[in-house]
Chains A and B, each alone.
Chain A
């Protein structure tokens, strides 16, 4: 028998949900033990956490050596390296890890650009700051020029700094950011070219994309540093870093092109027709209607490519550029600091993770911001 109605028809108030749906207990019941399989995985996860986390924390934090200016604190009774992290190693090598062999007296030139970059980036990320367009424009055009003159020097009374002195995280950032900034527009052009109905343009773009996607980045880098100079006329000498930059950029623009093409393919024909019917020409249609939607749709893919590129910069080590990771390896092969490579790698992992996680978070923020409910 149904209970008797307590309220007039149409007068039923909103009642609170039953206790099993709310609160901590409700959440745990719904998410952790809702079924036998779920319960099994919950227990498995707890066991794995128990297995992995305590020794990791012990290695990284509790047993680790923290203070000291030389390697003495990182040694055990027998004089070997301790079986835990040796953070003084990182501290002692911080400057080379960050800037390579860039002359110490000139480091302010790099730091100043970091500050500019940081301020502009914050202005872009924090919603309340006005003039976003100008900050973006600054980052895109004057900023790289300023960086170039500051880093290289040799003009405006600045000392000339050879690129083979550049290194560490600084070099990694130079390669990654140049690659990121240059590969997106090149990728967009390649994607458009690949969809063009002009056979020659299309063929060139397809060939270009497939060529770069078909070879490993490491061989691109080798080619650029070993083979390329052989083809050059006597006396013409391109900077090694420049060649690596071009290699990395072209390599990732091929990937970018395919990501962007995926976005272009997802734009319905009606969008093109709507734009054409209004009289927008090809360039305006692409700029105002098609690209914004296509790029927005593939933000995850674009950021994925960026993150891949960021981590792939570690490969420039093989052609003798001393990027962040190569610098860490160099540091731990120093006789004074033998045996602390793991600490170096842990530090490298942390730094790479922070950058990649930051990019990933920013992309999710962008996706949410650009979502217009369709």
Chain B
């Protein structure tokens, strides 16, 4: 973790007030998951409201990725309930597809499709999942590429872009599907320090526009700037949940204190 405090001051401050709605868009009720006999998620309860921005942090291996991957069914949970956008996740493939259409996700390693140009990466899902005609899909793609500030890269291939640019393309790719919810799994962890800010800035803008977001990240500056709530996980459980100022200045749980002292010591 590079100097988190410094990057906090550098980040652009939110310009608008970010509102949170009443409607619950993600609900996890007593959710458990096992990998074989390994109990990786234990009794997870979480409600996310429309427009809310949640930051999830915790030591490596604590189950953060697994939890958010359960939300769009990249992983299957075995017990409890996950309700996304009013649809309860089950083995019903139709429902899974329906949820994935509304939930965008960005990964640590971007997962762009290397054999397709940036433009093709962006228009593929709108065209083939949402049945939007190519012209319209390309227009939308250009709009989002402009928003993440790399419209000139449209015809290049992912392998020709820097890490920061690739992650911004990945964000734009998700946005092209007009998702209601965005999930981020350590989007800046694989980036060189000088590229972290360009990605975080895009995420902050997204937050300002009222996107519902769950971000797994250790960027504490980002958490302080945009999160309504910070969730701390350890050993497959949610240990502590609080609004950012309280969370950082006054952590309640021993393990939270230890974790914070470790990442802030760097």
B40 at the interface (CB under 8 A from A): no
Q: A277-B74, A277-B105 are in contact. Are A372 and B157 (CB under 8 A)?
A: yes
A262–B101 Cα gap in the complex (Å)?
31
B159 at the interface (CB under 8 A from A): yes
Q: A276-B100, A278-B124 are in contact. Are A270 and B114 (CB under 8 A)?
A: no
Asked whether B129 lies within 8 Å of A280 as measured between CB atoms, the reply is yes
A278–B100 Cα gap in the complex (Å)?
6
Distance to closest chain B CB from A347 (angstroms): 42
Asked whether A270 lies within 8 Å of B157 as measured between CB atoms, the reply is no
Distance to closest chain B CB from A288 (angstroms): 6
Q: Which residue of B lies closest to A274 (CB)?
A: B111
Interfacial chain B residues near A372, Cβ < 8 Å: 114-115, 117, 157, 159
Number of interface residues of B (CB under 8 A): 28
Asked whether B113 lies within 8 Å of A279 as measured between CB atoms, the reply is no
Instruction: Determine the main DSSP class of A at the interface with B.
Output: helix
Binds B, one of A8-16, A248-256, A289-297, A309-317: A289-297
Q: A273-B107, A274-B113 are in contact. Are A279 and B157 (CB under 8 A)?
A: no
B255 at the interface (CB under 8 A from A): no
A255–B83 Cα gap in the complex (Å)?
45
Q: A271-B111, A372-B115, A372-B157 are in contact. Are A278 and B173 (CB under 8 A)?
A: yes
Interfacial chain B residues near A374, Cβ < 8 Å: 114, 157-159
A370 at the interface (CB under 8 A from B): yes
Interfacial chain A residues near B129, Cβ < 8 Å: 278-280, 284
Distance to closest chain A CB from B215 (angstroms): 15
Q: Which of A275-309 contact B (CB under 8 A)?
A: 275-281, 284, 288-289, 292-293, 296
Number of A-B contacts (CB under 8 A): 68
Distance to closest chain B CB from A292 (angstroms): 5
B44 at the interface (CB under 8 A from A): no
Q: A278-B124, A278-B173, A372-B157 are in contact. Are A296 and B115 (CB under 8 A)?
A: yes
Q: A280-B125, A280-B129 are in contact. Are A373 and B159 (CB under 8 A)?
A: yes
Q: Which residue of B lies closest to A374 (CB)?
A: B159
Asked whether B124 lies within 8 Å of A288 as measured between CB atoms, the reply is yes
Q: Which residue of B lies closest to A288 (CB)?
A: B124
Asked whether B114 lies within 8 Å of A279 as measured between CB atoms, the reply is no
Q: Which residue of B lies closest to A270 (CB)?
A: B111
Complex interface bits, B90-117 against A, C-beta within 8 A gives 1, otherwise 0: 0001000100110111010101111101
B217 at the interface (CB under 8 A from A): no
Interfacial chain A residues near B107, Cβ < 8 Å: 270, 273-274, 277
A370–B159 Cα gap in the complex (Å)?
13
Binding site for B on A (CB under 8 A): 270-271, 273-281, 284, 288-289, 292-293, 296, 370, 372-374
- In the complex, the 9 A-B pairs of residues with the closest C-beta atoms, listed nearest first: A274-B111, A374-B159, A278-B125, A373-B159, A277-B105, A374-B114, A270-B111, A279-B100, A372-B157
Q: Show 18 A/B contacts (Cβ-Cβ < 8 Å), sorted by A.
A: A270-B107, A270-B109, A271-B113, A274-B107, A274-B111, A277-B74, A277-B103, A277-B105, A277-B107, A279-B97, A280-B124, A281-B93, A281-B97, A288-B113, A292-B115, A373-B160, A374-B158, A374-B159
Binding site for A on B (CB under 8 A): 72, 74, 93, 97, 100-101, 103-105, 107, 109, 111-115, 117, 124-125, 128-129, 157-160, 173-174, 177
